[in-house]
């Protein structure tokens, strides 16, 4: 027992140290990018933003939450059938929880919500959370893959990184689809087996294909928002360049960060535009507006749902998901 406690303690220390390093690196990068910032020019860029494209970007953000809830409906069926409205509420609630907590606790909250409302096993939800992120990675890869050939300003190593990411995502999908179809009836009960059982929807080729298409569509809505915000701020770089910006921002957001990806989001934008040869206060204006577009619906709509969950949970006896 003492040995396992020691290993767990070392993992916690290592995880905390890694988080500190990532956040420290983010702060240093922010200082580097924001040196010599002209506040007046930043304010001017924000004031001159066209309201029409900004409203369109907000609409794409709202639709994106609906698409992600649709993806959950596809993955949970045929064993579980939560109503779409409930899944949308859970999506907004978990996104709000992840936005305001440093540990991104929203996915853990989703596990509890689905278990309490629809008796979805925790292992199943955990497996589907991982698959959902993988499918979103596939969507990013599909959109960003043409960038190395269509964006002349992009360095060769950046294009190679996109290509490597796409190959990795595709390989993981194939491997997990094969693993999901393995016969585990004779294997001993374990957490690995339960996680594998949670991939049941991947045994259906049609359902797997639809889930992938829905994930790609969700990323397309995010890309449309990027393009709309670029046009609102008079930064029309083209579709392929916009896809690369989205790719780099979402990739850096995988790193440990402050709540709502504060810092890492902006560093991702600065880095992407820098590789594209664009700098200045307009880039920071884009970063701020794009970040706001991403979190506004989570905070405005999701936080009231999150408060309702906290109130409900305080009234219920403590229960552990199965």
Q: What is the pLDDT of residue 153?
A: 85
- Sequence-separated (6 or more) residues with CB below 8 Å from residue 113: 90, 93, 94, 309
What is the DSSP code string of 238-260? -HHHHHHHHHHHHHHTTS--SGG
Q: Does one domain contain both 220 and 284?
A: yes
| Dihedrals phi, psi of 79, to nearest 5 degrees | -80, -35
Q: Does residue 39 lie in a domain region?
A: no
Q: Does one domain contain both 123 and 241?
A: yes
Q: Does residue 45 lie in a domain region?
A: no
Q: What is the pLDDT of residue 71?
A: 96
Q: Does one domain contain both 267 and 308?
A: yes
Q: Does one domain contain both 21 and 85?
A: no
Expressed as residue numbers, the domain containing 152 is 51-315
Q: Does one domain contain both 70 and 155?
A: yes
Q: Does residue 88 lie in a domain region?
A: yes
* 3-state SS assignment for residue 1: coil
Q: Please say if the pLDDT value at position 94 is more than 60.
A: yes
Mean pLDDT, the chain, whole residue set: 83
Looking at residue 189, the DSSP 8-state letter turns out to be: P
Q: Answer for the pair 247, 162: CB distance below 8 angstroms, yes or no.
A: yes
Q: Does residue 322 lie in a domain region?
A: no
Residue 291: pLDDT band (50, 70, 90) is: confident
Separation between Cα atoms, residue 125 and residue 316, nearest integer Å: 21
* 3-state SS assignment for residue 135: helix
Q: How many domains does the chain have?
A: 2
Q: Please say if the pLDDT value at position 172 is more than 90.
A: yes
Cβ-count burial 286-299 (b if 16+ within 10 Å, e if not): bbbbbbebbbebbb
Q: Does one domain contain both 295 and 233?
A: yes
Looking at residue 202, the DSSP 8-state letter turns out to be: G
Find the mean pLDDT for residues 216-236: 94
pTM to 2 decimal places:
0.85
Q: Does residue 130 lie in a domain region?
A: yes
Q: Which of 111, 166, 177 is nearest to 144 (CA)?
A: 166
CA torsion 204-130-295-112 (nearest 10°) is: 90
Q: What is the pLDDT of residue 3?
A: 55
Q: Does one domain contain both 301 and 219?
A: yes
Q: Does residue 24 lie in a domain region?
A: yes
In the chain, the percentage of residues whose pLDDT exceeds 90 is 39
Q: Does one domain contain both 218 and 252?
A: yes
Q: Does residue 166 lie in a domain region?
A: yes
Query: In the structure encoding, which two tokens stand for residue 139, read together?
Result: 């969507």
């Amino acid at each position: 027992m003492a040995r396992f406690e020691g290993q767990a303690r070392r993992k916690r220390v290592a995880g905390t140290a890694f988080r500190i390093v990532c956040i420290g690196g983010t702060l240093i990068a922010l200082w580097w990018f924001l040196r010599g910032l002209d506040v007046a020019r930043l304010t001017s860029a924000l004031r001159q933003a066209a309201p029409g494209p900004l409203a369109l970007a907000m609409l794409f953000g709202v639709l994106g939450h609906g698409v992600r809830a649709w993806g959950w409906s596809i993955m949970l069926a045929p064993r579980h059938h939560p109503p779409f409205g409930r899944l949308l509420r859970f999506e907004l609630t978990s996104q709000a929880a992840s936005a305001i907590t440093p540990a991104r606790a929203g996915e853990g909250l989703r596990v509890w919500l689905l278990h309490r409302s629809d008796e979805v096993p925790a292992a199943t939800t955990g497996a589907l959370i991982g698959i959902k992120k993988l499918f979103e990675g596939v969507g990013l890869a599909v959109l960003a893959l043409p960038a190395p050939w269509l964006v002349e300003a992009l360095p060769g190593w950046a294009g190679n990184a996109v290509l490597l990411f796409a190959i990795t995502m595709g390989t993981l999908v194939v491997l997990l689809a094969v693993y999901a179809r393995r016969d585990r009836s004779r294997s001993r009960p374990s957490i690995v087996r339960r996680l594998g059982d949670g991939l049941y929807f991947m045994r259906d080729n049609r359902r797997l294909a639809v889930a992938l298409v829905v994930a790609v569509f969700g990323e397309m809505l995010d890309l449309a928002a990027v393009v709309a915000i670029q046009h609102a701020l008079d930064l029309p770089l083209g579709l392929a360049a916009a896809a690369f910006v989205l790719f780099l921002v979402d990739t850096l957001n995988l790193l440990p960060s402050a709540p709502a990806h504060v810092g890492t989001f902006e560093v991702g934008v600065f880095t992407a535009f820098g590789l594209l040869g664009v700098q200045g206060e307009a880039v920071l204006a884009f970063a701020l507006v794009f970040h706001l577009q991403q979190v506004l619906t989570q905070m405005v709509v999701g936080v009231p749902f999150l408060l309702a969950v906290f109130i409900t949970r305080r009234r219920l006896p403590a229960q552990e998901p199965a």
